Amino acid sequence: MMKHKFHIAAALIVTSLLFSCNKDFLERPPQNQLSEGTFWTSEKDAYAALNAIYQQIDGSDGDAYQDGSTDNAHAQYPWESNATTISLGDVTTSMNEGWSFDAIRRVNYFLENVDRVPMDDVLKERFNAEARFMRAFRYFNMMNNFSNVPLITKTLTVEESYVARSPKADVLKFVTDELTAITDVLPPSYSGGKNNEKGRITKGAVVALKARLHLYNGQWQQAADAAQEVMGMGYELFKVTGEDAKDAADNYAAWVDFADATAEARFRNGLRSYEKLFWQVNEGNKEVILDRQQIPEKDAKFINTLLLSDDLGGWSSIAPSQSLVDAYQDFRTGEAIAPPSAADRAARYKTRATDPAFHSEYKNRDPRFYASILFDKAPWNGIESDYEFEWVKGGNNCSKTGYNFRKYVDPSAWGAQVDNHANHIIIRYAEVLLTYAEAQNELAGPSAAVYDAIDAIRTRAGMPLIDRAKYGTQPLLRDAIRQERRIELALEGHRFQDIRRWKIASAVMTSLYDLENGLVQTRKWDDKLYLMPVPQADVDKNAKLLPNNPGY
């Protein structure tokens, strides 16, 4: 497995070269340093420099925190991320929500120097394409948060560094053109070994990012076309067809009224398929289009700690909202559930030890609910024999909402008392299917192909097919697609972009309450939050970045 974990290796030894090159070529550099004169002389140098660019891909912790900026979750510690501040509506120019050009600077420097390297021209062209993807990906993310950003495609001198922000339309065109130019340069997959490690940018990753790019910008035809192209590349939804002894010990018959053994098998396979998609043992499966490689024992991510409760050694940094819990549909009907009022839930919670009414709320839900959410008495033998979740109100490192996340947690890492090292999936096939469904419905309304794309995801999850008669109009199907997207992609960093591009943020960003109807967080939405501010620290260095985004 280690031979596939390539992108961090050599990053640190290259970083000093990329940003602080020794220009005194008459002085022989120490053996532990690199210089202009001794670098860019071999394929090995190009390989190391490119891997240093891969290091800039963000991991899963940041994506999970983004849901804390939305109606999906509560991020309780403001020192861990900006999500708490954003959800409160208190954003000012003192905050930096991703304004950084480090990755872009690395790519520009790489592209300007790699031609000096004596190496195979075909491989060099592919290395160039991988680097250009990283730059396009970074600009895509910055454009989503800031709209107009400086478009920098070369290494700048100090005098040249005072660059104004380019219009979003220009940045969008640049990213689109870059992705189009490199599409056919990159292979559909890699065989493994030096220069061909799994995890490198593929053609599928390029086209899938194009689909996301066009979707986010309301370019329905281009989004549908790109998604459909990816759908023909051989990717598949990850599925399992059985359970081990620990999983089988979970008594879901106490939570779901199964019609028969077939229904129970459908439920359990759907739950396991969804939760195990993100485990280290299954990384690199056929659903993965782009992931961030994690080096075991060296490149840890802290998702287990951030999501689990104190009794399992976690911090409950990011916890599910009641709104997200309510969004999971009925396993039997495939339709929305009718949750109790906050007052009724609080009353039921007080008598939960003797009255089954409280727990009835959590019965007969989408299998993805049980794979994603820890609720009172939720079984989880995979994490610990006979484990049942219990909310400790006010406890140290405990959830404020009454729920914890289970999605993303890898029980194997928890059991071995090591950090979670599962590769973080950035783009997966389920997202592409949802992109196609949304774009095609917006373009032309319901069709068999749109229903089929949604049904593929629901079938994998063990849910009933979408009711084609009930959701037979474009507006109704739009709501169904958005619902499916929220559930399938929860905690994966999409929701904040979705509630802004759908212009529903002001309606959904309401205050959070716990199981006892106690106030958790007073939230407010200001329309200035549709964009993040250019940090004041950067404006102070470069007045050409003004005017700032509206409201800041």
Counting Cβ atoms within 10 Å, is residue 190 exposed (0-12), middle (13-18) or buried (19+)?
A: middle
Q: Residue 443 CB: number of other CB atoms within 10 A?
A: 16
Q: pLDDT-based confidence at 60, cuts 50/70/90?
A: low
Q: What is the pLDDT of residue 35?
A: 58
What are the pLDDT digits (tens) for 423-475?
Answer: 999 999 999 999 999 999 999 999 999 999 999 999 999 999 999 999 999 99
Summary mean pLDDT of the chain: 92
Q: The domain 2-68+100-237+531-545 is classified under which CATH number: 1.10.630.10, 1.10.3720.10, 1.25.40.390, 1.10.540.10?
A: 1.25.40.390
Q: What's the rounded Cα separation, in Å, for the pair 104 and 56? A: 10
The pLDDT of residue 525 is: 95
> Alpha carbon 306 to chain centroid distance?
15
Contact 235/286 with Cβ under 8 angstroms?
yes
Average pLDDT, stretch 363-378?
A: 98
pLDDT in tens, 91-149: 999 999 999 999 999 999 999 999 999 999 999 999 999 999 999 999 999 999 999 99
What integer is the mean pLDDT of 173-183? 98
Residue 4 has pLDDT above 70, yes or no: no
From 422, 320, 296, select the one nearest 374 (Cα to Cα): 320
Q: Range(s) for CATH 1.25.40.390 in the chain?
A: 2-68+100-237+531-545
Residue 29 clears pLDDT 70, i.e. is over it: no
pLDDT for 407 beyond 70: yes
Q: Identify the residue with better confidence: 192 or 269.
A: 269
Q: Which tens digits make up the pLDDT trace of 206-261?
A: 999 999 999 999 999 999 999 999 999 999 999 999 999 999 999 999 999 999 99
CA–CA separation, 121 and 353 (whole Å)? 70
Residue 3: predicted pLDDT: 36
Model confidence at 358, in pLDDT bands (50, 70, 90)? Answer: very high
The residue ranking higher by pLDDT, 23 or 337, is 337
Q: Read off the pTM.
A: 0.92
Confidence class for position 293, pLDDT limits 50, 70, 90: confident
CATH 1.25.40.900, domain 427-519, yes or no: yes
Closest CA to 364 of 253, 470, 458: 253
Question: For residues 65 and 524, what is the distance between their CA atoms, to the nearest angstrom?
Answer: 18
Q: Please, where in the chain does CATH 1.25.40.900 lie?
A: 427-519
pLDDT at 63 over 60: yes
